[in-house]
Structure 1
């Protein structure tokens, strides 16, 4: 039996296992089974804490509910940083993922600020299947068109819409996720700008579907909104699960994300009872 925690950031929820002391029998199939909300514990992402490489405090491996591996997850980054910070009595932690190092610091009021690194704006960086202006990707389906794309460790495309409530994200999102222009699939965001410092967004996550919040999606939203001249570099990004404070720092192009973390419950998991 393996201890686990069920954590979340704004309802974007995770099953967290600690594999730092010894390797765990995690496979994509087992992660997908545990993530199932009917037959497993249920989560948006399955997270394994692993021994850190030099310069980091912990390595965070991220598996989606379909078993695929993700490069970044902003809400999980804050959750994992909070665990390590509490262990060490520290206010700053560096989380490493396959996409790079993410420094996280504790702020007053139970908030955590993660430096999600620079936005990657080149078409190869997203990546896209061909050379395209990432500020205006010729992508359209039904009522939406003209996406802005970037990478935050994961590929993202953002559509800016006049009425978010009229956008059928659950129908359009999965089709656009698999559009041939995205060789690695993509997270699809639907954003409505409410004010120069306030954006409302819903994200269809690659490999996960509809989620209550998406940290890397919020990062992509502020970046693409600023690139389009729609908002300031600092804004509140509102998602179904709550708000994140976002900033696309002009000095170095890094995206800063501030929000809460929470532990819902903990327990013991018989991981080997799931087919590998």
Structure 2
């Protein structure tokens, strides 16, 4: 039997698998099949999830472990800020360390334990990056520009302005006056740019943001490979930087930015450097269930529930209690 966890950051939910616990680690194709099966809302476990997080031995000097991310459709993501917080917590508890580095697809990122947000709500701070505005990192085309910062793109919308930032996941961001009224447009644009299209052929994460006040936002994301999600950690981080670039009078970089989302809230910090920026994401790392499952079921990506034991941790109640005290509006 192998233990896997169901976890979430801002109710962006995942299953977490530590490959080092297996007798025979899963291959990438097996992990892709497992991600599709586990996360399915009807056929998967516990109502499914947004993705699968995989812990593997690091291949990078100085990193405690490596994190792989598989989306609901089986595709791999370069980075996942909400997921990284939960992996950071798992590794902190496994190795009894409070600050270390985790290898991701394009960088070794610093993570550290953060004070509890509320009783029973563990939190971690994670580095988000690398940050890029370059066309070659965002992989857009046919938009008649080399960089997208507070720019109208009539090919996408006759009314909205956009900023595009890779962290390294590509994000397309627009600020709207009313996030609820803009929900349908976010769905339309997110779906359009994550199907076959001439502008972002590899797809893109699309976020709409509403400014709630100085250093305060509400962000909703249509995530590449997932669809609408309760929260997107890299999306909220990239949107915080877009907030600073587009509305500098509304952002004090010496203070944290509070970012509300459909699943709760996080805080972000922008760190300007001589050449660019690095971003910090702070939020919950909640474990909702411990799952004992035979290893062969992971390889087969098929589940016999009679052989699976699920234990609730009780942490979700603590998280929901915290969220109800922090409603944005």
Alignment TM-score > 0.5, same fold: yes
**Could you tell me which residue of structure 1 aligns to residue 86 of structure 2?**
79
Q: What SS is found at the alignment partner of 2:203?
A: coil
When you count helix as a share of all residues, which structure comes out higher? Answer: 2
Query: Which structure 1 residue ranges, 5 or more long, are not aligned?
Result: none
Q: What SS is found at the alignment partner of 1:268?
A: strand
CA shift in 2, pair 1:143/1:239, >3 Å: farther
Which structure 2 residues correspond to residues 1-276 of structure 1 after superposition, within 5 A? Answer: 1-21=1-21, 22-25=24-27, 26-41=30-45, 42-53=48-59, 54-109=61-116, 110-129=122-141, 131-135=145-149, 136=151, 138=153, 141=156, 145-167=160-182, 168=184, 169-178=186-195, 179-230=197-248, 231-232=250-251, 233=253, 234-251=256-273, 253-269=277-293, 270-274=297-301
Give the aligned length.
275
TM-score by length of 1: 0.93
CA shift in 2, pair 1:260/1:3, >3 Å: same
Q: What SS is found at the alignment partner of 1:249?
A: strand
When you count strand as a share of all residues, which structure comes out higher? Answer: 1
CA shift in 2, pair 1:137/1:119, >3 Å: farther
Q: Deviations over 1:127-178 (max 9, x none)?
A: 2225432212625556752211010121100011111110113333211334
Q: CA deviation at 1:265?
A: 0.3
Distance 1:27 1:76 in 2: 16
In our comparison, the structure showing a higher alpha carbon Rg is: 2
RMSD of aligned alpha carbons: 1.9
Q: What SS is found at the alignment partner of 2:136?
A: coil
Contact 1:236 1:244 in 2 (8 A): yes
Q: What SS is found at the alignment partner of 2:237?
A: helix
TM-score by length of 2: 0.78
- Larger displacement relative to structure 2 (50-59 or 127-136): 127-136
